Chain A
Amino acid sequence: MWDTPYPWLIPLLLVLAAVFLYPILQIVRLSFTDANMIQVGYDYTLESYLRMFTLPGFLPMIGTTAFFVFFSVVFQLFAGFIVALLIVQGEKMNLRGTVVVRTSVLVAWAIPGVVIGVIWGMLYNETDAGIINYALSTIGLGPVSFLSDPTMALLSVTLANIWRGTAFSMILMYAGLKTVSKDVLEAAVIDGASALQRMKNVILPAIAPIILVNLIIISIDTFNTFDMVMALTGGGPGNSTEVIALSIYTAIFREFNLGEGAATAVVLLVVNVVMTLVYLKVLGRRGEE
């Protein structure tokens, strides 16, 4: 029995079960209760789910989250790739300062979400004290309602999140680009492939697995983002920037509604798992081809 690796995995399984599986099961269990943080005891019920799916607010929340995640992920992937490509090209050309660029981009990734929310809050401030609005006023424009107009607020929050996530995306893309074989690239050049052709037929296929991992990580990260949104808009104005993760926080910590918060958390978990499976299935298969 000791010849197999399984006994050695037992401690890991125990730890995973205790810190990962157990909390998830608890959340699922709580989502079928009417538990709140003010009274002891609870009953098992489907009310939390019924409430969530039938009340006004659920569909707008899904819509807001979908917009936020879709545009965040697309632009983080794109911007991350462009920055990484620039750094790699810079290194190839022995340009000075590539390390500085890499490090300074990384700083964005190291700043806590709440701080990012506060910083962007200063930028977006709608009085003359707001940095962007002040800049606009010097050329006779503005003020722009960055945070008090429902549509602008969602755009503003998404833009701040793109800025925040680009750094991480860049790190992965950079790592991916560094693995592209120079020989193959040289061979492509000798074969007369144009820059676009090299990108399409050599670089992108080579880093496809990294792009997939990047896509999964930043998608999940964006779905789970609430700290930055909370600091920047608190979900407002109205609930125009209330993404699923923030709604969980509001339900549990501001309305003390544990059952409903847990039910929303289960929905978020299901969305994350389904999305990951779809990515793996669709993109993973393409990668193999």
Chain B
Amino acid sequence: MKKSISIGMSMLVIAGLAGCSGDNPSAEEKETLTWYTTAGYSPEAPSAATSDYISENIESFEKEHPDMNIQLSLQSSNIDEAMARLLEQANTGRAPDMAAIDGYMLDRYKEYLQPLDELMEERGLDPDDYLPFAEKVLRGDDGKIYGLYMSTDTRMLYYNKEVIEEPPSTWEEVIEVSNEVQKEGYEGLVLPLGIGEGTSVTSLWPLFWSQGGKLVDKEGNPVFGKGENREAMIRTFETLDRAQEEGAVSKRMASSGRENDANGEVAAGDTAMFLGGSWQAVTIEEILGDDFENWEVASLPTIEEDDPTVSSAGGWAWGIFTDDPEKKEAAFDFLMDSFISEEGMGEFTSIQGSLPARTSVYESDSYNPGAFNDEFLTSLETEAEARPGASKYNEISVQLQTAISQVISGSKEPEQAVDDAWEIVTFGESGESE
């Protein structure tokens, strides 16, 4: 008897873990829909508004789908770690039915994700409604859509218009303006140039991309250290290094690796401009109170006046892994209603203070636009690019963050730093490092 109970229990556990992907023992029993998400997009969210919103959505989903039961499992707060774990699960056939995926990494999961074109058509979701960069991320090589982009962000130059009349549009102007405002007792340009992903996406990639540089080729192999790409990367490094040497950027930026590090600088009161993410507008508003009125955003400065402005966009997408048609549809319904429909995305991104990934949502009544909404939308529509989803990306990013931090702190020259990063990233790949 004891034995049969324990066998029964283990079966239950196994069925729960596997998300009931096998035959359903009985039509009356509930199916479990496994949901792997970050705490911020779950009922466990630290913000009460988010938590309530998602809990309500789960409740109404379970009411509409009495045969389905959502089983939540939370991702580690370390995104890289969480994404690696999800990939490992997908690799070994243990993927959850649906999961939150860091937007730019979606490409790595496409071979395990379900195409959603038919379901999108049924629910009237037009892929063209997605912001251009997001649609590019979602679309697979076969032209099908493999995910649902939910929220996004972009990087811009924030500046205090009381101090700076005209925002600098090139780095030449950045140096000029910085030196001027420093005479009035303000800091130069604040931007992340230390170890952290913020350095890559805010300070390095936009400059590199705007010169036409490519980090990886179509197959995902690193190319940033070859030919014209190498030239563009060295120029990016030299530009930032020159800004530091001419006093426009403080050397201490070499120890700041996140966009949010600028929040503390702004709070200290002597910052006149910084490069940051769109989500920071809310925090800066809280910090500055009424003084926030004096702040504006502008496109990121480029090296040459004729270079196109490029920004990098991030954000999160949802992917559906289950191939069980019923569960796939249920998962789609849940995600659509909670995060993707005009109403869902509008409400959710308003609560989160993030930006919608669909253009139509910006016009929706459910969306409550925050400060600089129009500027952010223009940036997303015309300037934004996503990081490459290549598996080598993380190593490239970490090595180049280290490299620029070495340059700014004065321990390496730009060319040497770029070449060393290239040597590390391409070690053992025949012919690559030549």
Contacts and interface: CB of A to CB of B under 8 A. Distances in A.
A236 B195 contact: yes
Main secondary structure of the interface of B (DSSP, over half): helix
Contacts of A10: none
A236 B411 CA distance: 11
B195 A234 contact: yes
A57 B409 CA distance: 16
A38 B84 CA distance: 6
Q: Which of A50, A56, A239, A256 has the most CB of B within 10 A?
A: A256
A51 B88 contact: no
Interface string B393-406: 01100100011011
Contacts of A129: 264, 267-268
Contacts of A227: none
B386 interface: no
Given A37-B84, A150-B409, A55 B427 contact: yes
A169 B84 CA distance: 38
A270 B406 CA distance: 29
Interface in A121-137: 125-129
A265 to B, nearest CB: 17
Contacts, number: 116
Contact of B254 (A38, A56, A237): A237
Most buried by A among B87, B92, B252, B267: B252
Nearest to A126: B252
Contact of B395 (A56, A235, A240, A257): A257
Interface string A227-256: 000000111111110000000001001111
A41 to B, nearest CB: 9
A127 B427 contact: no
Interface in A8-59: 36-40, 47, 50-51, 54-57
Interface residues of B, number: 42
B312 to A, nearest CB: 18
Contacts of A128: 268, 270
A28 B264 CA distance: 43
Given A40-B91, A127-B265, A238 B402 contact: yes
Contact of A149 (B81, B108, B406, B409): B409
A235 B195 contact: yes
A126 B252 CA distance: 7
A209 B108 CA distance: 55
B39 to A, nearest CB: 18
Contacts of A235: 195, 402
Nearest to B270: A128
A249 to B, nearest CB: 10
B405 A236 contact: yes
A238 B420 CA distance: 12
A57 B78 CA distance: 25
Contacts of A47: 427-428
A236 B423 contact: no
A94 to B, nearest CB: 47
Contacts of B91: 39-40
B194 A254 contact: no
B359 to A, nearest CB: 32
B80 A55 contact: no
Interface string A56-67: 110000000000
Contacts of A238: 254, 402-403, 405-406, 409, 411-412
A236 B196 CA distance: 10
Interface of A: 36-40, 47, 50-51, 54-57, 125-129, 145, 147-150, 153, 233-240, 250, 253-257
15 contacts: A39-B91, A40-B92, A47-B427, A56-B423, A127-B265, A129-B264, A145-B252, A148-B255, A150-B410, A234-B195, A234-B257, A236-B257, A253-B78, A253-B80, A256-B80
Which 5 interchain pairs have the tightest Cβ spacing?
Answer: A238-B406, A237-B409, A237-B254, A148-B252, A37-B84
Given A38-B87, A234-B195, A237-B405, 7 more contacts: A37-B87, A56-B420, A127-B264, A128-B268, A153-B409, A250-B398, A255-B394
